[in-house]
Chain A
Amino acid sequence: MLLYILKRVFQGFITVWFIATATFFAMHNVPGDPLTNDRAMTETTRANLEAKYGLDEPVSTQYLIFLRNLARGDFGISFVQENREVNDIIREHFPVSAILGVLSVVFAATGGVLFGALTALYRNRLPDYLIMFLVILGISVPSFVVAALSQLSLVSLNTLLGFTVLPVAGWGTVMHMLMPALVLGLSTMAYLTRLMRSSMLEVTSSDYVRTAKSKGVPPTRIFTRHQLRNAILPVVTVLGPAIAAITTGGFVVELVFAIPGLGRYFVEAVQQLDYTVIMGTTVFYGAFLVFMVILVDVVYGFVDPRVSLDA
């Protein structure tokens, strides 16, 4: 068990190193650099700025310096937010994304499992058709449309009722979180519903359910112990990556609802070619994703009796 985890962690480090290296060189090959600005700079100013940020060194040297600092967990100072350390940016803004992400995942997972089980139970009947129709919508409509529409309907609702039911945008209270979390979790919920449905159907026609039925096990027990527990396994598998994806992919939602999350900094850094922030957020997100995948594999060992981690 311990050996397995150690092995996975080691693999994880290799993966993160690979992500960092690929990003580093891709970033340096894009035309322009963080110092490019619409007011042209004199050669002296540029040279001074390059010296200040170490951009005057050859890329290979910069890479080695980056690796050395990475080992110390130091990503340096942002080029754009000139007085802020990348570590501070991550520390201040990741919790916001994380809170939003956790809320959306909880929302998506409970909704997905419930609706998935429901559609499987009522297969080819009205609830099934209705929910599956909404699921297709949820998967195919992009989040910026959903976000904008939901915000617009909030405005209409608030205007109609004459008081603020839920705030339209901003961050701070739970009321601010509900709508963005709902929107952010929607496509994952739709995806999980579909997954849960197919896995429920598979389990329902399995031998052990039929055996249980023929033994005269009470239906409630069959449903919870045999069907749900087995059907939920694939959902748990995708949950880890889903948490990472939701937490890192909230850019559009963060923008529309004016939420100070890390996703916004991540995307803006790429647009601004803010080297240090690009590297910091990419490595951080990469490590986070790898960690979630490992975590799920370990959890799987507990949930699924067929999986043994000692092998």
Chain B
Amino acid sequence: MSGPSFNSQSVDDGFLRSAGGQLAKFAVYALTGFALLIYLLSVLAGEASSIASGNAIDFQANAITIALREEPPQLDANRATDASSNVVLAHVMEGLLGYDIDAQLVPGVAERHEIREEGATFWLREDALWSDGVQVTARDFVFSWKRVVDPETASQYAFILYPIKNAEAINRGELPVSALGVRARSERILEVDFERPTPYFDKLVAYLTYFPVREDFFKSTNGRYGADADMLLYNGAYVLTDWVHGSTMTWVKNSQYWNRENKGFLDEIRIGYITQDINAKLNLFKDGQIVDTHLLSPMLPTAMEQRWQIDRSMDGAVFFLEFNHRDDRITQNKNFRRALQLAQDPNELVYKVLKEPSYLPGVSLFPAWLSGVSESFQKEYPPVQHQVNVEKAREHLELARQELGLESFPPLMMLAGDTPIGLLSAEYYQQLFRKHLGLEFRIDVQIFKQRLEKMRQGDFDIVLSGWGPDYNDVLTFGDLFSSWNLQNRGRYSNQEMDALIRTAQSELDVHKRMDAFGEIQRLLYEDVVILPMYERGFSFVVDPRLKGFRRRSVGPEVDYNYAYVEELSDLTIDLQ
């Protein structure tokens, strides 16, 4: 093998040339074949799926293209639980009340309403129509609500109807569905009886579980209600005309919609893409294919390079460390919890660790955007001023050790989700508590459903948890730590807290009601039920030609109901 034979070089050269030529010929064949195959595939694929086309804004058609995060599992409002369904339904359906562009509650299908101590009455407008031209009546709401609480339906959001008389008992299977405290006094008058006084009922009926469903149409779908575009009847500003699963959707302006003068200005909204990949969405936005996208902090430099206008909004959710208050846990000891509270600082977490400019350091369970009596709740009821005090923290830890009769603290379990932010936060707390208090935490990282299951079983000492609002009232956060709330995974139980929450649920005097929330906020801090981490926000960019677009803290995360398009005014105005 070693050393070439005397004249092999020239032979090999000849061989090389000819073989190279042969290869080149093959390459040409391959390319031709490839092109042919592509042509064939294009013919095949042309029928299989629709074309996600069009640029971000189509002025001629008065249309925009957007991307959706996930495919909605189905569009049955009575049973929907996820954010994507919420977005779609908020554009194609309308409840008794709705939200205006500034997220203020305004009349929807009901032109006026009255909430009393024992019940409520809604007067439906005459011109509220379904997309097939039939009037929306009180009976459609009665049918829908009875369906939600029917145990057969197994709606996961049935609890949101519990203020209605007998709803909970029906949902538990203890009473027949007909016992539900709601009836149509006439086509246009809907009457509701309450289980207990519910002063915030107007906010509840704006939620999608309360949307109407028409009985005859529902029955005609044979159990496929909400599964496809033609399996749903619409009464919102848009109708869904086309839904290719996992790929595209089209919403078209609803010509039957009563308020079309003030809502639904675009003729068409095209969902051209369904992807969770935020980088892909950024690229689509950069390429002018979609009108808006949200940004993570690593993308901000790119956005600034492009000189985009970057906006911020709160997504509504609050994140916190939740303690396990069960008796067999070290974390049930108040001095122990106080020690952790005094050692940590949400400002450091948000500003130095997470560095997401749209996040706010957590100061309370009740986020900054919630309203109180007449202005922001946090302004009217300022949260306790938190001061870091490591000295005092160590004293409390020592007290806790004595109370628990421990030699030293065993390693504790910190349950966290598998998101980058979740991991970063968990690691921050891990090293913080080790440094200041000498405590050892083991981080148990779990994907979403596994984490929820471990929370349900109480398999944690501390869990990184969060809560997003269902409706625009302090109570959507306020009743979380009542002893009867299933969401109270740490099983915190305190009679004083329960009494305050009862007041907050039923008190008709708005001042007394907000006072109760103020007390709840104080108690949450003083009893160290949770440690607030941050309020989540989003940085986002919008095509400058799109106006009236909103990101929401409550309801759909993105709202195009009031969006319209406008050519950019030419800045080089002729001065003559």
Residues of A near any B CB (own CB < 8 A): 30-33, 36-42, 44-45, 48-49, 52, 80-84, 89, 92-93, 95-96, 99, 102-103, 106-107, 110, 113-114, 117-118, 121-122, 148, 151-152, 154-155, 158-159, 164, 167-174, 176-178, 213, 218-220, 222-224, 255-258, 260, 264-265, 271-273
Known: A82-B227, A83-B225, A95-B48. 11 other contacts (CB 8 A): A32-B452, A37-B156, A106-B34, A152-B283, A155-B286, A168-B287, A169-B273, A170-B289, A218-B18, A219-B18, A258-B277
State the CA gap A258–B293 with chains docked (Å).
Answer: 15
User: Does B245 sit within 8 A of A, measured CB to CB?
Assistant: yes
A36 lies within 8 A of B284 (CB): no
Tally A-B pairs: CB < 8 A. Answer: 212
Given A172-B51, A256-B280, A260-B245, are A44 and B23 also a contact pair (CB < 8 Å)?
A: no
B287 lies within 8 A of A106 (CB): no
B283 lies within 8 A of A260 (CB): no
User: Does B103 sit within 8 A of A, measured CB to CB?
Assistant: no
Q: How many residues of B contact A (CB 8 A)?
A: 85
A169 lies within 8 A of B283 (CB): yes
List A contacts of B79 (CB < 8 A).
Answer: 82
- Of the candidates A31, A99, A110, A170, the one whose C-beta lies within 8 Å of that of B44 is A99
Q: Within the complex, what minimum Cβ distance (angstroms) separates A297 from chain B? A: 25
Q: Give B34-45 as 1s and 0s: 1 = Cβ < 8 Å from A's Cβ atoms.
A: 100111011011
Given A31-B453, A45-B171, A83-B74, are A223 and B22 also a contact pair (CB < 8 Å)?
A: yes
List B contacts of A223 (CB < 8 A).
Answer: 15, 18-19, 22
B284 lies within 8 A of A32 (CB): no
User: Does B431 sit within 8 A of A, measured CB to CB?
Assistant: no
Instruction: Give me the 6 closest cross-chain CB pairs, A-B, nearest first.
Output: A83-B227, A32-B453, A40-B486, A260-B246, A170-B52, A172-B51
List A contacts of B448 (CB < 8 A).
Answer: 38, 271
A114 lies within 8 A of B486 (CB): no
Q: Within the complex, what minimum Cβ distance (angstroms) separates B60 from chain A? A: 17
B154 lies within 8 A of A170 (CB): no
List B contacts of A32 (CB < 8 A).
Answer: 449-450, 452-454
- Of the candidates B15, B76, B223, B247, the one whose C-beta lies within 8 Å of that of A219 is B15
A172 lies within 8 A of B226 (CB): no
State the CA gap A40–B172 with chains docked (Å).
Answer: 15
State the CA gap A167–B286 with chains docked (Å).
Answer: 12
Interface centre among B19, B30, B172, B231 (most CB of A within 10 A): B19
- Of the candidates A48, A83, A99, A172, the one whose C-beta lies within 8 Å of that of B154 is A48
Given A255-B280, A256-B280, A264-B246, are A121 and B23 also a contact pair (CB < 8 Å)?
A: yes
State the CA gap A177–B45 with chains docked (Å).
Answer: 10
- Of the candidates A92, A121, A272, the one whose C-beta lies within 8 Å of that of B20 is A121
State the CA gap A98–B41 with chains docked (Å).
Answer: 11
B289 lies within 8 A of A96 (CB): no
User: Does B16 sit within 8 A of A, measured CB to CB?
Assistant: yes
Q: Within the complex, what minimum Cβ distance (angstroms) separates A49 from chain B? A: 5
State the CA gap A158–B280 with chains docked (Å).
Answer: 15
A168 lies within 8 A of B284 (CB): yes
State the CA gap A123–B42 with chains docked (Å).
Answer: 39
Contact residues of A: prevailing secondary structure:
helix
**Which residue of chain B has the shortest Cβ distance to A227 in the bound complex?**
B19
- Of the candidates B30, B49, B224, the one whose C-beta lies within 8 Å of that of A171 is B49
State the CA gap A273–B448 with chains docked (Å).
Answer: 10
**Which residue of chain A has the shortest Cβ distance to B75 in the bound complex?**
A83
Would you mind naming 24 contact pairs between A and B with Cβ atoms under 8 Å apart?
Answer: A30-B450, A31-B453, A32-B454, A40-B485, A45-B156, A48-B151, A48-B154, A82-B76, A83-B224, A99-B41, A99-B44, A148-B280, A151-B280, A152-B283, A167-B52, A168-B283, A169-B280, A169-B284, A172-B49, A173-B46, A219-B15, A258-B52, A258-B274, A260-B49
Q: Within the complex, what minimum Cβ distance (angstroms) separates A244 from chain B? A: 19
- Of the candidates B30, B231, B272, B279, the one whose C-beta lies within 8 Å of that of A110 is B30
List A contacts of B231 (CB < 8 A).
Answer: 83
B289 lies within 8 A of A168 (CB): yes
- Of the candidates B226, B456, B457, the one whose C-beta lies within 8 Å of that of A40 is B456
B30 lies within 8 A of A114 (CB): yes
**Which residue of chain A has the shortest Cβ distance to B274 in the bound complex?**
A258
Residues of B near any A CB (own CB < 8 A): 11, 14-16, 18-23, 26-27, 30, 33-34, 37-39, 41-42, 44-46, 48-53, 67, 71, 73-74, 76, 79, 81, 151-152, 154-159, 171-173, 223-228, 231, 244-247, 272-277, 279-280, 283-284, 286-287, 289, 446-450, 452-454, 456-457, 485-487, 489
State the CA gap A102–B277 with chains docked (Å).
Answer: 24
**Which residue of chain A has the shortest Cβ distance to B52 in the bound complex?**
A170
B486 lies within 8 A of A42 (CB): yes
Given A83-B226, A258-B273, A273-B449, are A39 and B171 also a contact pair (CB < 8 Å)?
A: no
A41 lies within 8 A of B486 (CB): yes
Given A37-B81, A82-B79, A155-B283, are A48 and B152 also a contact pair (CB < 8 Å)?
A: yes
- Of the candidates A41, A148, A169, the one whose C-beta lies within 8 Å of that of B289 is A169
Q: Within the complex, what minimum Cβ distance (angstroms) separates A122 from chain B? A: 8
List A contacts of B289 (CB < 8 A).
Answer: 167-170
Q: Within the complex, what minimum Cβ distance (angstroms) separates A281 from chain B? A: 13
State the CA gap A41–B156 with chains docked (Å).
Answer: 6
Q: Within the complex, what minimum Cβ distance (angstroms) separates B417 from chain A? A: 11
State the CA gap A83–B15 with chains docked (Å).
Answer: 64
- Of the candidates A107, A172, A272, the one whose C-beta lies within 8 Å of that of B53 is A172
State the CA gap A173–B44 with chains docked (Å).
Answer: 10
State the CA gap A222–B19 with chains docked (Å).
Answer: 9
Q: Within the complex, what minimum Cβ distance (angstroms) separates A296 from chain B? A: 20
**Which residue of chain B has the shortest Cβ distance to A271 in the bound complex?**
B447
Q: Within the complex, what minimum Cβ distance (angstroms) separates B124 from chain A? A: 29
List A contacts of B74 (CB < 8 A).
Answer: 81-83
**Which residue of chain B has the shortest Cβ distance to A255 in the bound complex?**
B277
**Which residue of chain B has the shortest Cβ distance to A168 in the bound complex?**
B287
**Which residue of chain B has the shortest Cβ distance to A222 in the bound complex?**
B15
Given A103-B38, A260-B247, are A44 and B171 also a contact pair (CB < 8 Å)?
A: yes
A42 lies within 8 A of B159 (CB): yes
Interface centre among A38, A41, A49 (most CB of B within 10 A): A38
**Which residue of chain A has the shortest Cβ distance to B71 in the bound complex?**
A81
List B contacts of A38 (CB < 8 A).
Answer: 448, 452
